[in-house]
Amino acid sequence: MKNTSIVVADNLCKTFADKKVLQNVSFEIDTGKCFGFLGPNGAGKTTTLQLIEGISPPSGGLLRVFNLSLPGHGRQIRGKMGIVPQIDNLDPDFTVLENLRIYGSYFRIPKKVLFKRIDELLDFMQLSDRTKDKPDNLSGGMKRRLTIARALINDPELIVLDEPTTGLDPQVRHLIWSKLRELMSQGKTLLLTTHYMDEAERLCDQLFIMDHGAILEKGNPQDVIKQHVEPYVVEARGDLAAATHLVKSVKRVRLETVGDTLFCYCAAPETIMPLLEGCADIQLLSRSCNLEDVFLKLTGRDLRE
Amino acid sequence: MNYSYYSLPRVSSDATIIWLRNVKVWFKLIGPALALHFGEPLIYLFGLGFGLGAFVGDIGEMSYLTFLASGLIASSAMMTASLEGTYSVFTRMVPQKTYSAILATPIEVDDIIAGEFLWCATKALFSGIAILIVASLMSAVTGSQAILIIPIVLLSAICFAGPAIVVATMSSGYDFFNYYFTLAVTPMFVLCGVFYPISVMPDAMQYVVQVLPLTHSIELIRPLISGREMSNVGLHLFVLIAYSCLFYYVAVVMVRKRMVV
């Protein structure tokens, strides 16, 4: 184990009522970086986080956080951790300010320190003018910002975020991303799950792509993209039979048909664009391959409910 | 090291943090709370105490008003703890996800449940004291020893909080509580001597109600309110303490099983 690792998981297993949701998962999380768990619904991302948080006990394997073993040290570990749950669970009986004060009391933060930190956090998350509102009167984006502010109340070293921006509008997502990057620049370690590939590409230094309770791939986002997919893809919609006929003879082009779209993965779009552009009944989109292409290649295109 | 659902409950001062959270929520709703705690006993004592009391006269050398007031103090401890332990605990545990939020901090399930027991006892005490005040104003309380009901009300509430929280952990929704209230709480309210002495019931029935904790709570509170001599104090305390310990343990185990998965 490197002494810079903040989380070390070795062959972690988790079983719920005979259903194996995590199978021999091993990984290390380095201090000061942003790590992302990616995967379809039911891949085991949230379960992994709950094990790290010491909230859910592992069924097998070894787990150390802050060099303390789990289960057994949940209290100490959570004292230095900030947790943003998937679904906001703000206290509806309390105002924004009271929510932060009550949450601070759970960490036994001295009043003077707490009040000063609350002012800073309200400012940081741009909620200073909503302190007297109850959560029900806040927008989805404000609730999320309050939940993140709440998770920072104990000035945590490790911040664990389960789908931090799901369901939020682009303005709020960009704001949250910039705040998370600011936290990283302060030396915090971030651990997040997401369904958004752009979020993972933008924020994460290191990715774990998960499916069916196992880690399929790990690495830096750009490296993972290079390793698994071609640099470019041309998407064609319309008369797919004609399009397929036109490009299938071109070398080093990988074709995949999904629904009404033909995906032509290639090293350079110039090799196939001229061929397709001659065809009247086809709409074309040429773009760089991204993490979503890797993700769908690795986890398949079947729906997960 | 494995997580054990059955280890003995941990009791620490962290329970007071949860207790304080509940106190703060209660203070936000103080108006309706006071209306309930003072309004209900007023109606019962006026309506039944005077109305029914006119027909009944005295029971065992005490006025019916005194008899009823002492029964109501015990039953309100039961009712308050039962409502808080079922509806409120369930709300915080399931739809509101308050427990999930708290468990993301150093606080653990054992602290939450210890805090809930403390809070159930506190709320029952508010209710009990409200009845005591109303009954005193109606001259239904004899002697200052009545203040000794405080520890009995606290103990009674803890005794009833346990089964209520256990029911909350088994529930998938609020409707489920109808079973508990119809099959346990209401029968105790009607059968355990709140409204009439259990000695008037058939022998077999008297044995049955001796098993129920409310009977023992009333047996302790009634002589303190009426200023009469207490009897079998050890037995009554033993029953209440035994129920409290047993259900406190079961409640902690059940909430662990529901929250720590």
At B160 the pLDDT is 98
Q: How many angstroms separate the CA atoms of A237 and A284, rounded?
A: 7
Residues A102, B28: C-beta atoms closer than 8 Å: no
Q: Is the model's pLDDT at B1 over the cut of 80?
A: no
User: Are B221 and B154 a contacting pair, CB within 8 Å?
Assistant: no
Q: How many angstroms separate the CA atoms of B45 and B134, rounded?
A: 8
Which pair of tokens denotes residue A300?
Answer: 């398949």
CA of B135: how far to CAs of A71, B28, B67, B141, in Å?
A: 53, 27, 11, 6
- Which residues lie below 8 Å from residue A99, measured CB to CB, with a gap of 6+? A90, A91, A135, A146, A150
Torsions phi, psi for A191 (to 5 deg): -135, 120
pLDDT top residue among A208 and A305: A208
Q: Is the model's pLDDT at A301 over the cut of 80?
A: no
pLDDT tier for residue A2 given thresholds of 50, 70 and 90:
low
At A296 the pLDDT is 85
Which pair of tokens denotes residue B202?
Answer: 């058939």
Is the N-terminal amide bond of A71 cis, ω within 30° of 0? yes
Say whether residue A89 is in contact with chain B using an 8 A CB cutoff: yes
At A73 the pLDDT is 93
User: Are A102 and B21 a contacting pair, CB within 8 Å?
Assistant: yes
Contact list in B for residue A151 (CB cut-off 8 A) is 104
Residues B96, A74: C-beta atoms closer than 8 Å: no
Q: What is the distance in angstroms between the Cα of B254 and the nearest Cα belonging to chain A?
A: 15
At A179 the pLDDT is 92
Q: How many angstroms separate the CA atoms of A206 and A219, rounded?
A: 5
Q: What is the distance in angstroms between the Cα of B4 and the nearest Cα belonging to chain A?
A: 10
pLDDT top residue among A259 and B254: B254
Percent of all residues in chain A with a pLDDT value above 90, rounded to a whole number: 64
Among residues B95, B158, B116, the alpha carbon closest in space to that of B18 is found at B116
Among residues B115, B84, B127, B123, the alpha carbon closest in space to that of B221 is found at B127
Computed over every residue of chain A, the mean pLDDT equals 91
Which pair of tokens denotes residue A158?
Answer: 């490790």
Residues A89, B100: C-beta atoms closer than 8 Å: yes
Q: How many angstroms separate the CA atoms of A277 and A236, rounded?
A: 10
Burial of B27: CB neighbours in 10 Å, binned 0-12, 13-18, 19+: exposed
Say whether residue A105 is in contact with chain B using an 8 A CB cutoff: yes
| pLDDT-wise least confident of A249-253, B155-159, B222-226 | A249-253
Q: Is the model's pLDDT at A90 over the cut of 90?
A: yes
Contact list in A for residue B21 (CB cut-off 8 A) is 91, 102, 105
**What one-character DSSP code corresponds to residue B207?**
H
At A188 the pLDDT is 95
Q: How many angstroms separate the CA atoms of A235 and B225, rounded?
A: 85
Average pLDDT for B187-200? 95
At A227 the pLDDT is 87
Among residues B136, B132, B141, B131, the alpha carbon closest in space to that of B66 is found at B141
Percent of all residues in chain A with a pLDDT value above 70, rounded to a whole number: 97
User: Are A233 and A285 a contacting pair, CB within 8 Å?
Assistant: no
pLDDT per residue over B158-170, tens digit each? 999 999 999 999 9
Torsions phi, psi for B38 (to 5 deg): -95, -35
Residues A76, B21: C-beta atoms closer than 8 Å: no
- Which residues lie below 8 Å from residue B165, measured CB to CB, with a gap of 6+? B85, B86, B89, B113, B116, B247, B251, B254, B255
pLDDT tier for residue A246 given thresholds of 50, 70 and 90:
confident
Say whether residue A60 is in contact with chain B using an 8 A CB cutoff: no
What is the distance, to the nearest Å, from the Cα of residue A297 to the centroid of all Cα atoms in its chain? 18
Per-residue DSSP letters for B39-88? Answer: HHHHHHIIIIIIIIHHHH-EETTEEHHHHHHHHHHHHHHHHHHHHIIIII
CA of A188: how far to CAs of A83, A92, A157, A160, A203, in Å?
A: 13, 29, 5, 11, 13
Q: According to the 3-state scheme, what is the secondary structure of A173-239?
A: HHHHHHHHHHHHHCCCEEEEEECCHHHHHHHCCEEEEEECCEEEEEECHHHHHHHHCCCEEEEEEEC
Percent of all residues in chain B with a pLDDT value above 90, rounded to a whole number: 86
Q: Is the model's pLDDT at A42 over the cut of 90?
A: no
Average pLDDT for A262-273? 89
User: Are B189 and B214 a contacting pair, CB within 8 Å?
Assistant: yes
At A304 the pLDDT is 67
Residues A102, B97: C-beta atoms closer than 8 Å: no
Q: Is the model's pLDDT at A305 over the cut of 70?
A: no
Q: How many angstroms separate the CA atoms of A40 and A166, rounded?
A: 14
pLDDT per residue over B64-85, tens digit each? 999 999 999 999 999 999 999 9
Q: Is the model's pLDDT at B108 over the cut of 60?
A: yes
The owner of tokens 């490009």 is A247
Q: Which residues pair with A19 in a beta bridge?
A: A16
Q: How many CB atoms lie within 10 A of CB B223?
A: 19
User: Are A304 and A39 a contacting pair, CB within 8 Å?
Assistant: no
Average pLDDT for B40-48? 88
Contact list in A for residue B258 (CB cut-off 8 A) is none
Q: How many angstroms separate the CA atoms of A13 and B138, rounded?
A: 66
Q: Is the model's pLDDT at A153 over the cut of 80?
A: yes
Residues A75, B102: C-beta atoms closer than 8 Å: no
**What one-character DSSP code corresponds to residue B209?**
H
CA of B19: how far to CAs of A21, A70, A180, in Å?
A: 36, 28, 34
Average pLDDT for B103-129? 96
Q: How many angstroms separate the CA atoms of B191 and B56, rounded?
A: 18
Average pLDDT for B171-180? 96
At A251 the pLDDT is 81
Residues A55, B103: C-beta atoms closer than 8 Å: yes
Burial of B229: CB neighbours in 10 Å, binned 0-12, 13-18, 19+: exposed
Tell me which residues of chain B, numbers 86 to 125, contact chain A at a CB-CB cutoff of 8 Å: 96-98, 100-108
Among residues B44, B36, B40, B38, the alpha carbon closest in space to that of B68 is found at B44
Computed over every residue of chain B, the mean pLDDT equals 94
Burial of B29: CB neighbours in 10 Å, binned 0-12, 13-18, 19+: exposed
Which pair of tokens denotes residue B44?
Answer: 């019962």
Average pLDDT for A37-41? 89
ipTM exceeding 0.90? yes
User: Are A285 and A238 a contacting pair, CB within 8 Å?
Assistant: no
pLDDT tier for residue A167 given thresholds of 50, 70 and 90:
confident
Which pair of tokens denotes residue A129?
Answer: 């003018």
User: Are B244 and B118 a contacting pair, CB within 8 Å?
Assistant: no
At A293 the pLDDT is 87
Average pLDDT for A144-165? 95
Q: How many angstroms separate the CA atoms of A99 and A83, rounded?
A: 15
Say whether residue B220 is in contact with chain A using an 8 A CB cutoff: no
